[in-house]
Chain A
Amino acid sequence: MSVIKSEYNIEAKRLWRCHVCNDLHYGAAPPPVCPTCGAKRAFVLVDRDEAAKVLDNRGDPPFTKQGVIDAWKRFGDMGEEYKLVDDAEMVEGLVEGVLSNRNDHGLKYCPCRLTQGDFVSDLKLICPCNFQAQKTWTERRECWCGLFVGRNKQ
């Protein structure tokens, strides 16, 4: 898997809706194939109001501590080069940090790096971040917090 290091342009991101099954996508371009229903070239540009109304109150409620850990585990299991660290105490400590930040600062920011006060710039601190672009990954095969580590790391 190649590591994507380039900065993306948030201004280029738009909302897209699958006209077949109402999947929503936020990005510079729509997926060529809808990941839910399989329809090809199915996405149409929509505005935030329409997307919010399609979403309504659907989707999971805000994750509990276990919900976040389960999401991290699932994310780590999908990684070819990384996984969630095998240290339950460490995971437990970090999940409390991100949930504390969600509660106090609005998003699940990394508890090991401070926001800089610029909303767009701080989006890169939402956990999990793009840790494979970080120096700590290059040097030690781990994210800044040590939450996600290389698959061969103990």
Chain B
Amino acid sequence: MSGIGNRLIWFSGRECVHCKRIRPVVEQFQAETGNVITELEVWHSEDNAKVMRGYGDAIKKACGGDLGVPAFYNEKTGSVVCGVVTLEKLKAWASG
């Protein structure tokens, strides 16, 4: 598993419907690539919320101005994808 600063992060919300929908895509991504995505639930963990806010500028830019979930943040590259995305888009995000 990658350490802090080197993670592929999935910011999620426990009651977020889109987060539930994208879970199978995340699982497929991990199964196919062997890469681990670290899920950080942000509404029920203030620590996780702080991490998300820390990357807030990049995430807001990708999410239409808000800290939307699901949001995926690549700590190594700083790239972000937001919302329900395809497996291909997730792979591109992880590598770029």
Binding site for B on A (CB under 8 A): 90, 93-94, 96-98, 100-101, 104-105, 111-117, 125, 134-136, 144-146
Minimum C-beta distance from B51 to chain A (A): 11
Q: How many residues of B contact A (CB 8 A)?
A: 24
Q: Are A93 and B20 in contact (CB under 8 A)?
A: yes
The 9 A-B residue pairs with the shortest CB-CB distance, nearest first, are A97-B15, A135-B64, A114-B67, A111-B15, A112-B16, A113-B66, A113-B68, A114-B42, A111-B13
Indicate if B92 sits at the interface (CB-CB under 8 A).
no
Contacts of A113 in B (CB 8 A): 63, 66-69
Q: Is the CB of A145 within 8 A of B16?
A: yes
Q: Does B18 contact A112, Cβ atoms closer than 8 Å?
A: yes
Chain A to chain B contacts (Cβ below 8 Å), 19 pairs: A93-B20, A94-B15, A94-B17, A97-B13, A97-B43, A100-B15, A101-B43, A111-B15, A113-B63, A113-B67, A113-B68, A114-B42, A114-B66, A114-B69, A116-B53, A117-B53, A134-B64, A136-B64, A136-B83
Contact call B53/A112, Cβ cutoff below 8 A? no
**In whole angstroms, how far apart are the Cα atoms of A62 and B53 in the complex?**
30
